[in-house]
Chain A
Amino acid sequence: MDLASPGEHVPLRESHAWIEVPIERRIMSFFTKKISRRMVMQALIALPTLSLFRGLPKADRPDADPDAIVEINGWILKRSDLA
C-alpha cells in the first residue's frame, strides 16, 4: 500500500478556521472536492501505521550514527534496523 501523507488527502490543518467547522461539514467537503472513497479509505488505513513512525529516529538522517542503540515500542534496536 502506498503510505500517502495525510496532508495530501486530508487537509485538516489548512487553516485555523477549519478546526471550528463541524465534522459533518468537513467530511462533506472532501466529497465536494471529488476525492474518491478509495483514496479516503487508503488514507484512513495508513494513519495508524504512520503514527507508529512519528516518533522514530530518522534512520537515513546523514548525521545519525547507524550503530546507535534506540528503543522503540519496547524493541532495543540499532538505528540502522529502522531503514
Chain B
Amino acid sequence: MIFDSYEAFRAANFTPKVCILGSGPAGTTIARKLGAAGIPVVVLEAGPREFSDDSQDFYRGSTVGDPYFDLDITRLRFLGGSSNHWAGWCRVLDKQDFEPKAWAPDTGWPISRADIEPYLNEVHDILELPDFRPDVSISDDIRWVQLIKSPAVRFGEKYADELDKSKNIAVVLNTYATELAGDGRRVTGAKLWSNGQDAGSFTADYFIVCTGGLENSRLLLWSNQRSNGGVVPNAAALGRYWMEHPTFEGGNAILADYSEFEVDATNEAFFSPTLAAMERLKIMNFGIRLIETPYAGIKSLVADLACTAPDMAEWVAYQLSQNLRCAAQLYVAWEQAPLASNQIELSKTDVDHAGVPRIELHWKKSEMEHRTLLEGLRLFGTTLVQKNLGRVRIADWIVNGGDYPTNEELAGHHHMGGTRMGTDVTKSVVDANSKVHGMDNLYVGGSSVFCTSGECNPTTTITALACRLGDHLGKLIAV
C-alpha cells in the first residue's frame, strides 16, 4: 500500500507493529524482510514519489572545515532516497575493515564480515549483481579488487509495485517524524509532519531510523534534545565519528601492458592494499582506480618523464606511435580514520520549515589521511616497478604536502558514521544488532552505523546490514 499523506494512511486503519523512517536501500530492504515475515510495517517517506525542490530544501545545511558538497545536493529526499542518484558501484567491506587496527584508534566493529556474509545472496538479488570474484594478489602489498558496476537499482522504481501490492507494508509519502519522544527505555511516539503541516503523533512497537548517513544523526540529536536524553540515553558518540571517502586524482601511471590487469567494461581496474602493508606503514585502507588516460593527457606525461628517464619516455612515445594503450590516470579514494571531532551538530541559527535545526557538519581530513594517500601511491608505484608492470608518477601536491585541490571530486557522497555500532557506550550509539544502547525498541539502519568506512562504496554493505537487521527483527517480533 502506498499513501500520499498521513491522513490517507490513517483512514485505511492499518495498524503496524514497526515504523520505519525512510525508504532508501536500508528502509526498503528492512520493510520487505519484515513484510515477508508477516509483520505489519509502515514506512514513512519524507519526500514525494519523484524529486521535488520543496522536499529537497529540508536537506540544506552548512559545513565547517574542509570543502564539502552542499548538503541538499549530496543526498536525495524522495521515494527510494539516495539510491536515486547512486552510481551502482558495488563491493562489500573487506574482512580487514571490520577488525581493530592498533595504529588507528577507535577502529573495529563488534561484528565481523562473517556476520553479514549469509545475507550476500539476498544482496545480489536486490542489487542485481553477479557473484563477486576473489581479490587477486599483485604483490605482498597490493591486490587487485573487483568493484562491480551494477545497474544502479533505484529502490523506489524497483519496488514501488511490490510495496503498493503488499498487505503487510504501508508506505506513506510526504510524511516524516520531526522528532521521536522517549523515556530513556523506549520510544513512546513520533511527532509527524505530513504535506507541509503538523500531522499529530503516532506510535508503534518498534521504530527503525533509516533516514540516511546525515539525517539519522540529525533526527536523533534533535529528538534527544527535545526528550532530555530520553531517546539516546548514551549520547556521547551521537553525531560523531562521521566519515566520507575523500577522492582525488593522485597521479598517473605508465603501463608496460595495459592488458596485464583485468579491466571492467569501462577499461578501469581497482587496487587496494593488503592488511600487512597497512599495518607496516600505519595507514588506512584505500582504493586506486586506474583509468585509461586520454591522448592529450599522455603528451605532457611523456614530456615530464623525459626530464627524468629519457629512455623510458622514448619507449612510451614509441608505444603511443603504435596506438597502444599505455597510460592511465590514478584516482584514489581512501578510508578516513574515525575521529570524534568529525561530527554532525544541530545548527544554532538555522531551522527548516518544520522548525527542526538544520545540520552543521564538521569535517576535516587528518594527517594520517595524507599519509595514506602518499604511501598508498608509493606502494602501488613500487609494486608496478617490482613486477615490471609500469611506472607511477605521484601528483606534485601530494609529494610536496600541498593543499588538497578544490576543483576535483572531493569525496564519494558516502555518508558514514554518526550512530556507529559498538560495545563501548561512550564511543558508539547502537549495539551489534543496530539497537540504540539502552533503548528497547529503537534501531538504526544504514551507513550511519558504520564504525569504519573501508575504501569501497557503502551501498552493498548497507543492504547486507539491512537484510541482517530485518532478519533479526523478524525473529524477535515473531516470538
Contact = CB atoms under 8 A, between A and B. Distances in A.
Contacts, number: 51
Interface string B366-408: 0000000000011001101110000111111001000000000
B309 A77 contact: yes
A10 B393 CA distance: 34
A3 to B, nearest CB: 12
A30 B149 CA distance: 66
Interface stretch (A15-23, A36-44, A65-73): A65-73
A75 B386 contact: no
A73 B394 CA distance: 8
B387 to A, nearest CB: 11
B307 A73 contact: yes
Contact of B386 (A52, A56, A69, A74): A69
A78 B385 CA distance: 6
Contacts of B276: none
Which size class do A's interface residues fall under? 10 to 19
Interface string B287-310: 000000000000000001101110
Which size class do B's interface residues fall under? 20 to 34
A76 B395 contact: no
A69 B388 CA distance: 12
Contacts of B381: 71, 76
Interface of A: 49, 52, 56, 69, 71-78, 81-83
Interface of B: 251, 304-305, 307-309, 311-312, 377-378, 381-382, 384-386, 391-396, 399
Given A74-B251, A74-B399, A76-B391, 14 more contacts: A56-B308, A71-B378, A73-B304, A74-B396, A75-B305, A75-B393, A75-B394, A76-B377, A76-B378, A81-B308, A81-B311, A81-B391, A82-B309, A83-B311
